[in-house]
Structure 1
Amino acid sequence: MNREPDAPFELCRAELSAPVRLGRLAEDWRRDLNTLEAHRIRRDRNAMQHIEAALTGSGDWFGFASAVQAATHEYANESLAIWGEAISLTAQHQGEWLAELDSVFGSWRTLWHAPLQKLPGIEPAVGSFSGWMRTWQDAMPHLGAWPKHDPASTADAQAVPDTAKGG
């Protein structure tokens, strides 16, 4: 039995499943942010322990300064690693969010425009923005030429600006 999908039911399914999938993506992102926060706390704790060890273990200013410099160098390296991981995770999660939103809006657009496709004389909808742009670019040569602007024919082109007069 070949039945057409029930558009209201399919639309309801798409709209109800979208918040669940977006909520899952938000929870994944929150989990990764908590992991980054744990890295930051561990980095700060290690830096404080190194400075405390430098205070108690060094007998002179030179030893203390070199221990603090080593702790600062390690702190900076860990900070850069955390920032790199954060940027990578952000790009990954934004890509997932955009893919999910594209899926949600794509199914919504398909379900809402499906009845319109059955009308006589209606062409299928363009699937993407780039397809829409290609359609317009293909249609532009057939619409006629844009009027040419001849700056020599206007009075504004004949006027000489004050800076060019040498005044």
Structure 2
Amino acid sequence: MPNASHPSFNAYKSRTSAALQWLVQQQQWREQAANLLQRRIERDRAALEGTLESLRGAQDWSDFGAATQTVWRDYLLASAALWQENVAATVQGTGVWANAVRDMSQQWQDTLEKLKPGAVAQPGRSGAALPMREWMAAFERAMSAAGSAGTAVSKDAAQAHGGQHGR
């Protein structure tokens, strides 16, 4: 059976695919956020248990002070690691979002060109598409610059994390 082109179905398929991809990415972000929340809860519980254990084992104020310093150091180190992971995830999520918007816009533009009455499949020949192409080019340049800056930030964070904690 020949594969006939159905421009209105293709437009629907393109929009629906983009929306579903966006929903998948949102679900991944929610899972990542829930994972970070769980780790924060575990960090807080460990600090409370450590403080309680310090109090039980302390013979005087200096014992208690020394033991709680260790608890607070561990708490702050865990907090810094979580913060760095959150920053890296945010930078990565921004790049994924930018790529999805770029792809969705390109699909939308291609679909609109095919839906025009009497449209001939000649890429780059449509005058109506020029403003969209200019906008997409500017958007891609901005996202590329943002991605480069974000990559530098996440590399700096990773180096600071690795160098500071010996990992």
CA distance in 1, matches of 2:86, 2:27: 16
**Residue 5 of structure 1: how far off its partner (Å):** 3.5
The match for 1:45 is: 45
Report the number of matched residues: 130
Flag the 1:112–1:98 CA change in 2: closer, same or farther, 3 A: same
The match for 1:118 is: 120
TM-score (norm 2): 0.68
**Which residues in structure 2 correspond to 1:11-160 (within 5 Å)?**
11-114=11-114, 115=116, 118=120, 123-124=125-126, 125-126=129-130, 127-129=133-135, 131=137
The match for 2:5 is: 5
Structure 1 spans left out of the alignment, 5+ residues:
133-167
Higher helix share: 2
Structure 2 spans left out of the alignment, 5+ residues:
139-167
Contact in 2 for aligned 1:7/1:111 (Cα 8 Å): yes
**Residue 113 of structure 1: how far off its partner (Å):** 2.3
Q: Percent identity?
A: 24
**Residue 4 of structure 1: how far off its partner (Å):** 7.2
**Residue 45 of structure 1: how far off its partner (Å):** 0.4
CA distance in 2, matches of 1:23, 1:130: 22
Select the structure of larger CA radius of gyration: 1
CA distance in 2, matches of 1:46, 1:89: 24
| CA deviation map 1:31-59 (0-9, x unaligned) | 01010001100000000011101111010
| CA deviation map 1:44-76 (0-9, x unaligned) | 000001110111101011111111111111111
TM-score (norm 1): 0.68
Partner amino acid for 1:28? Q
CA distance in 1, matches of 2:3, 2:134: 27
Partner amino acid for 1:69? Q
Flag the 1:7–1:54 CA change in 2: closer, same or farther, 3 A: same
Contact in 2 for aligned 1:117/1:123 (Cα 8 Å): no
Partner amino acid for 1:83? W
CA distance in 2, matches of 1:63, 1:15: 64
